[in-house]
Chain A
Amino acid sequence: MDRVSFVAKLDDAVQFGLDWLYTNGAWFFDAIDDGLGEVYSGIEWMLLSPPYWVMVVLFGLLGWKTVGVTFALLAGAGLLGCAVMGLWDETMSTLALVLSSVVIALIIAIPIGIVAGLKAGVNRYVQVAVDVIQTIPPYIYLLPGVALIGYGPATAMTATIIVAISPALRLTALGIQLTPLELVELGRANGASSMQMLFKIRLPLARPSIMTGINQSLMVSVGMVVIAGIVGAEGLGFVIYEAIRTLDIGKAIDGGISIVIVTMVLDRISQGLGAEGAMAAQ
């Protein structure tokens, strides 16, 4: 009996604290909401304003450039399939959410990753933080967003950014750390400044590792964005969530197929970009 009232009091206190935080920090949370919302709607607009067949051709071309002809045809056919299933808008919304979150995550992750790669002291803390972030189930990251920002794409993005930062950060730090010592020595012998050393030697050599990190960030982002359908982020996740709630089996399967297509296209294209980068680096 004591415990029940204790828990109720706790909930009230949490609610009170959140209310206070929200009234006093409204400008801050609204700014996050607006800022993220702007990024998202900008990218969504770019993806959605051309007719779907233009986008299909563009993705086909991108696939052809990065991977190859067979993949280009498959990717084109797959995305066309999304349109055929009547899920084109949702597919593009999902893609827009993924791309905008990953771009923001990379802007945060890569500089921190570079610092962590150069300074072992920083790296230790970063590794612990990343370990904890990756241990916690991604679903949980929706909670603070819902509490402080409310339903909508911005909440989906905050959660996605959190999960997308860790792989990119980890692999950037790893790539920078693993620069062969003789090349660093070579740079030093030639009198390279530390900036030159970073941009001309360490970063180009770390590129394959960073690209792998970006690929992994994209994959965990798709996973998160789809889950975020539950907090009112439009897109394929929302389609499946609604379909499961209303037991519309057909729709749920269509949504699932579209997600598989988007995942595969993003995976192969980002891997292709990585392979190209590796070749360019050599």
Chain B
Amino acid sequence: MTIENSFSPGQAIAPVFRWLNINFHAAFEAFSDAINAALVLVETPLISGPPIIVITILSVAACLLTSWRTAVLVAVGFTTCFLAGLWKETMETTALVAVAVLVALAIGIPLGILASRQRRIELGLRPILDVMQTLPPWVYLVPAVILFGLGRVPAVIATVIYGTPPILRITTLAIKGVPRDRIELGRAFGASDRMILWKIELPSALPTILVGINQCIILSLAMVVLAGLVGAGGLGAEVTRGLTRMEMGLGLRAGLAVVILALILDRFSRATLTARRTRPLTGIANALRGRRKNK
């Protein structure tokens, strides 16, 4: 009975990937270029600006959007990353997370709204989301690397795949949880479906959706750091170097920077949440008002 090692589906599937790579090279290339362009767009101001000014701007933004506590955390945290000699890497990782999260939100929120409208779509998506949320993140890197090679593009793609399910789920949940009477009220005033969505449903669902965004950010950071293994650069690459070459000083420094970044991102997204919940006006509106008063 030796059926062990008798068949490898991978060897059977590999030619398909190779064929895709050869015949749709232009499409993959265009896709990579688009993602790279987005990364460069986010990254350039963060990296090329003098660190002190970037840190100041980010802290002021944190102060306006959330609270002074978060601002202090941002200032101290990023300064530590800078002193640890990992400024460029920290900003690269931040850019990767930002781009991946934006794409995940752009996919997840509309699909989530759609799923809350159409029961069939929700039922169809559910098993897929279940499987996606069960699988370990490593698994997503494999096909991404096969199709896009090593580098930052597969990292962004794997991160988007990993980060989309929670935000999609929570959006569906949030829209479904909007009290019926509010929608009825809108109908009674003759609001169109579009107006009901934008003026009633989305604002009422916002606090829950923000919880989803927080989760999406934390998961994305985990994936982006892991993607250091496939050449995504940033802090993940430094951690990987520390782990594989036993350069523990570097590894621990990079690890510390990752922890700081995780805490900053978590605090920041959560603080926006509470700022919105405690005050009737959104944090952004408050920030704008504050700025106008200063003028």
Interface residues of A (CB under 8 A from B): 3-4, 6-7, 10-15, 18, 52-53, 80-81, 83-86, 88, 132, 134-140, 142-143, 146-147, 219, 222-223, 226-227, 230-231, 237, 240-241, 244, 249-257, 259-260, 263-264, 267
B84 touches A140 (CB 8 A): no
B8 touches A263 (CB 8 A): no
Starting from the known contacts A81-B9, A137-B225, A249-B14, 17 additional A-B residue pairs (CB-CB under 8 Å) come to A4-B85, A10-B84, A84-B3, A84-B6, A86-B8, A135-B262, A136-B259, A137-B262, A139-B226, A140-B239, A223-B136, A226-B139, A253-B10, A253-B142, A254-B9, A257-B10, A260-B139
A143 touches B252 (CB 8 A): yes
A85 touches B9 (CB 8 A): yes
Contact status of A254 and B8, CB under 8 A, knowing A11-B250, A230-B229, A241-B229 = yes
Residues in B whose Cβ lies below 8 Å from that of A251? 8, 10
12 contacts between A and B (CB under 8 A): A10-B84, A11-B247, A52-B4, A137-B258, A139-B226, A230-B240, A230-B243, A244-B141, A244-B142, A249-B18, A251-B8, A259-B138
Cβ of A57 to closest chain B Cβ, rounded Å: 13
B243 touches A259 (CB 8 A): no
Residues in B whose Cβ lies below 8 Å from that of A227? 136-138, 226
A143 touches B242 (CB 8 A): yes
Chain B residues 54-79 with CB under 8 Å of chain A are none
Contact status of A140 and B259, CB under 8 A, knowing A11-B250, A146-B251, A259-B138 = yes
Cβ of A269 to closest chain B Cβ, rounded Å: 13
Cβ of B236 to closest chain A Cβ, rounded Å: 7
B230 in contact (CB, < 8 A): yes
Q: Which of A85, A147, A223, A226 contacts B8 (CB 8 A)?
A: A85
Q: A132 CA to B259 CA in the complex, in Å?
A: 9
What is the count of residue pairs linking A and B with beta-carbon distances less than 8 angstroms? 165
Interface residues of B (CB under 8 A from A): 1, 3-14, 17-18, 83-85, 131, 134-139, 141-143, 145-146, 218, 221-222, 225-226, 228-230, 236, 239-240, 242-244, 246-253, 255, 258-259, 262-263, 266
Residues in B whose Cβ lies below 8 Å from that of A252? 10, 142, 145-146
Residues in A whose Cβ lies below 8 Å from that of B141? 244
B222 touches A137 (CB 8 A): yes
Residue of A nearest to B219 (CB): A137
Cβ of A121 to closest chain B Cβ, rounded Å: 23
Residue of B nearest to A262 (CB): B136
Residues in B whose Cβ lies below 8 Å from that of A88? 4
Q: A70 CA to B3 CA in the complex, in Å?
A: 23
Residue of A nearest to B257 (CB): A140
Residues in A whose Cβ lies below 8 Å from that of B230? 244
Residues in A whose Cβ lies below 8 Å from that of B255? 140, 143
Residues in A whose Cβ lies below 8 Å from that of B252? 14, 143, 147
Residue of A nearest to B149 (CB): A247
A85 touches B10 (CB 8 A): yes
Residues in A whose Cβ lies below 8 Å from that of B135? 259-260, 263
